[in-house]
Amino acid sequence: MEKLLKGKLPRHIAIIMDGNGRWAKKRFLPRIAGHKAGVSAVRNVVENCRRLGIEILTLYAFSSENWNRPSREVNALMDLLGDFLKSELKEMLKNNIRLTTIGEIERLPGSALKCLQSVCEETADNDGMILNLALSYGSRNEIIKAVRRIVSDYSEGKLTPSDINEERFSRYLFTANFPDPDLLIRTAGELRISNFLLWQLSYTELYVTNTLWPDFRKDDLIKALEDYQKRERKFGRTSEQIERENWKGKMCNPKDG
Ligand code: IPE
Ligand code: IPE
Ligand code: MG
């Protein structure tokens, strides 16, 4: 942990929490038992990210495609979400964590939606870590919604085609107020994005672990962060350019080195 703090930490971590079903299957348990076990991993990662001083933690909790799962599983996931929110509110207030969401949350059942909205409101003034839950979230849908709003603003004369640039477009997405993730972690080994943050991940560092989500603990997070700290983020430039800039930065701010 101490070694980590000396290096550069990501401001924004996003996680595709996958593998709950496989975790349960390995133990001859119903899939829902895997989701229940996954909730402990959520508590754990929230606490560890907060301690490390991560600014934003975005968790992919339910995709727009996950609505196609058997209704029993969907209902159980919605109940778990409600229970999690009710049990975590006190902890979030104590730890200065603000809850936000991305996705079509209006599709959630009334009881889960009510809990969600109330926790978001009650934690709105917290200025410690942001816990951002992706719920009923699909990135293609997010982009389509953005385009619809842009067209509507255009037809009302609020913008012209030349007003649209990357920065302006980003402001029409669910993630309008957040910087792009620096690090994406996917558990359970699949090498795909599964309709998550397609626009926002353009220059995000990707880290995939075979650990199943319910088993993901502090050591796994630290491994991901250590790996991240070894990466050279070039954003299209050459290593030499990056080195020169780092060197210049150190000359200007010798204490930061
Ligand atoms: C991730 O675990 C949780 C959700 C998608 C809600 P899965 O349920 O996808 O687990 P696997 O992929 O079947 O193991
Ligand atoms: C992605 O996992 C969605 C969440 C983690 C919430 P899935 O298990 O739904 O993804 P696929 O179907 O394997 O791509
Ligand atoms: Mg899965």
- pLDDT single digits (tens) 208-235: 999 999 999 999 999 999 999 999 999 9
- Percent of all residues in the chain with a pLDDT value above 70, rounded to a whole number: 98
d(CA 16, CA 37): 16
Kindly give the distance from the C-alpha atom of residue 248 to the centroid of ligand 1, in angstroms, as a whole number.
46
Q: Give the mean pLDDT of 20-35.
A: 98
Residue 24 reports pLDDT greater than 80 = yes
Atom 10 (ligand 2): residue with closest C-alpha?
194
Model confidence at 158, pLDDT cuts 50, 70, 90, reads: very high
Query: Pseudo-torsion of CA 21, 25, 29, 34, nearest 10°?
Result: -30
- Residues identified as active-site: 18, 66
Please report the domains of the chain, with CATH numbers, ordered by start residue: 6-256 (3.40.1180.10)
Which residues line ligand 2 at a C-beta cut-off of 6 Å? 16-18, 60-63, 66, 190, 192, 194
By three-state DSSP, how is residue 144 classified?
Answer: helix
Strand partners, 16: 60, 186
Smallest CA separation from ligand 1 atom 3, residue: 18
Alpha carbon of 223 to ligand 3 centroid (Å): 22
DSSP H helices, the chain, are: 2-6, 20-26, 31-52, 71-94, 110-122, 139-155, 166-170, 218-230, 239-252
Ligand 2: distance of its center to the CA of 133 in Å? 14
> Could you give the CA distance from residue 255 to residue 157 in angstroms, rounded to a whole number?
50
pLDDT score at 257: 44
